[in-house]
Amino acid sequence: MNATIAERLVGYSGCIMNERQPLDPIRFTRALCEIDSTTYHEGAVGDFLAGFLSERGWAVEKTPVPQPTESASGGDRWNVYAGISDETPDLVFSTHMDTVPPYIPFSEDAEYMYGRGVSDAKGIIAAQVAAAEALRADGFCVGLLFVSGEERDSAGAKQANLSPKGSRFLINGEPTDNRLAIASKGALRAVFTSSGKMAHSAYPELGESAVHKLVEVMARLLTLPMPVTEDVGPSTLNIGQIDGGHAPNVIADKAEAQVLVRLVGDSAPIRTALVEAAAGLAVVDFTLEIPFVRLRALDGLPTMIAKFTTDIPQLSNWGEPLLLGPGSIHVAHTPFEKLSKKELKEAVELYIQVAKQLLA
């Protein structure tokens, strides 16, 4: 264990967690955020969590998560599961260990913590561990599942779904401002590729511009009517990347665009509309789909609609899902990521309350 991290852990345990005193989620968040774990580089934070939870008396399993070809240099990475020895958990808390780039060092003031992962999702890890330990002390059988790769392709969740632990409920953690999400939008990612013929730009009649074709397709996409689901809202479309051509004075022979649609229902009509918009001008390749999901509410707890996707659809074998966590999605993935210390502490109590309500 890194000496700097170990020294910080001493500050809230009296020793390196062997006394099992109540966990300070603020300092634990700091320890996690000191470790850069941008997607494909989750190995170090996984090792840290596995060692930490083992020393806290949890039975820990590390499961390798394969690297995609383009990130083979990222090194080993894992899912980390922690449970009570020889017992099937009734409820499992889960979130992801990876963060989006770039890494932003941790800092704090009296009210907030700042840096990459404080809200998405290392503060959530800290709150879930603190809640799970309190529940364990009260005699509840709970587990913890922390996965790799959520920010890219849910590779860790897909791997975890192959070996569920028999839990009845899964509380997945994402920044929901400590409100239960009653729905989570899905996602449909499409790549549009246009082909043309290269020529000198002074003689466009001798060529065929792939860029011009792609621009026409993108203009069509921006006018497409998007489906709307009552109480959830509309699907939304974003043209995230466009690339093509060689130089301003060259007719482009190739062009590509990456498009992401946030789904509020079945993807079939969206797929049809995208293909029709590209007809005769571009080829469409659908590279990712995460389905729209509805989730349960609980009496007395505030709710929200998650306009983002989560690992929940890929963890279908881990029990009935709920989505809940501290922090705002509006600052996640930005240079201004932050989390209120008060909200983090409230999340611990909220996780305990929800778990007891479900298991009563």
Q: Please list the active-site residues.
A: 150
Beta bridge partners, 79, equal: 63
**Structure tokens, 99:** 């963060």
List the Cα angle 244/235/151 in 5-degree steps: 65
Matching residue, tokens 């007809």: 279
Beta bridge partners, 234, equal: 228
Beta bridge partners, 180, equal: 303
Contacts 24+ apart (CB under 8 A), 225-231: 226/261, 227/264, 227/265, 227/269, 227/270, 228/264, 229/264, 229/265, 229/292, 231/183, 231/305
**Exposure class string for 113-128: b at 16+ Cβ within 10 A, else e:** bbbbbbbbbbbbbbbb
Q: Are 273 and 188 in contact (CB under 8 A)?
A: no
Beta pairing, strands 254-263 & 186-195: antiparallel
